[in-house]
């Protein structure tokens, strides 16, 4: 995104942002301080057509009382050479969906030029690379941008308790690579490699043990995940960059 356009969006957002922030009374003292600090990051606010409307803090775009506001996100699905999917359990210190199992890495691109490049979702891929390093310790050279495949976008909304929630245009990214992990325990409590054949068994065991699955992972799994997973060798034929699937 050109810097001139980015500057206009920065100027356009603050009045509404400040108004919402002043009306918000949230006791953050009970949460992990590292996670609270991350709530100051600026996410990318968008409309339902995924057009950028401005910037908004991570905290503001996850408060149910605000909607929550629609913003961009990504869901990375990383497979090894055995076609097993890396699943992570979100740490109990996470503010939204703590203790939930989900796909490899799920987060947000930031409101900055580097992560707002829309060319083949390049900015989204850079955000995924940044967070994969932060959460899972995957070095950038083991997960280069060239390995990431932008599949499609999904639009969903889901609460995480009474206070917090998600409302996202979620970019689905696939990559296949053997990697070394160095898990950040403030983000991830455990990981598992799961085969397509064992996916349902894994999900059933999560249900029996009382370990929830994130809503976006459930929605993607119920629709296209198995089809994409079965066709890792020809994902180019299955990509849909034009449409946004609404849940």
Asked if residues 62 and 158 have their Cβ atoms less than 8 Å apart, the reply is: no
Q: Exactly one of 115, 135, 168, 187 is catalytic; which is it?
A: 168
Q: Residue 135: enclosing H or E segment and its boundaries?
A: helix 122-136
| CB contact at 8 A, 149 and 136 | no
User: What is the DSSP pairing of strand 71-79 with strand 164-176?
Assistant: parallel
Tell me which of 60, 105, 106, 115 is the catalytic residue. 106
Active site residue 113: no
Q: What angle do CA 199, 202, 207 make, to 5 degrees?
A: 125
The alpha carbon of 103 is separated from its chain's Cα centroid by a whole number of angstroms, namely: 9
Nearest Cα neighbor of 114 from 104, 102, 124 is 124
Does residue 8 sit in helix, strand or coil? helix
With a CB cutoff of 8 Å and minimum separation 6, the contacts of 130 are: 115
For the question of residue 187 being annotated catalytic, the response is: no
- Interatomic CA distance for residues 69 and 126, integer angstroms: 23
**Residue 191, exposed/middle/buried by CB under 10 A (0-12, 13-18, 19+)?**
middle
Active site residues: 106, 168
């Amino acid at each position: 995104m050109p810097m001139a356009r980015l500057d206009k969006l920065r100027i356009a957002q603050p009045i509404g942002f400040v108004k919402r922030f002043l009306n918000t009374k949230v006791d953050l003292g009970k949460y992990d301080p590292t996670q609270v600090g991350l709530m100051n990051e600026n996410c990318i606010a968008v409309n339902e057509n995924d057009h950028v409307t401005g910037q908004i803090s991570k905290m503001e775009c996850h408060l149910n009382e605000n909607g929550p506001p629609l913003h961009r996100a990504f869901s990375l699905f990383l497979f090894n050479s055995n076609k097993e999917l890396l699943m992570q359990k979100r740490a109990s210190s996470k503010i939204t969906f703590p203790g939930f199992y989900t796909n490899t890495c799920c987060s947000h691109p930031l409101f900055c030029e580097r992560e707002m490049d829309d060319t083949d979702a390049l900015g989204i891929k850079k955000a995924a690379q940044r967070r994969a390093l932060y959460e899972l310790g995957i070095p950038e050279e083991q997960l280069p941008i060239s390995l990431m495949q932008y599949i499609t976008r999904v639009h969903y909304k889901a609460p995480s308790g009474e206070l917090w929630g998600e409302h996202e245009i979620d970019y689905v990214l696939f990559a296949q690579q053997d990697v070394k992990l160095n898990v950040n325990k403030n983000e991830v409590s455990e990981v598992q490699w799961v085969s397509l054949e064992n996916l349902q068994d894994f999900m059933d065991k999560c249900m029996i043990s009382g370990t929830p699955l994130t809503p976006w992972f459930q929605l993607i799994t119920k629709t296209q995940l198995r089809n994409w997973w079965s066709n890792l060798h020809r994902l180019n034929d299955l990509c849909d960059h034009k449409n946004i699937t609404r849940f």
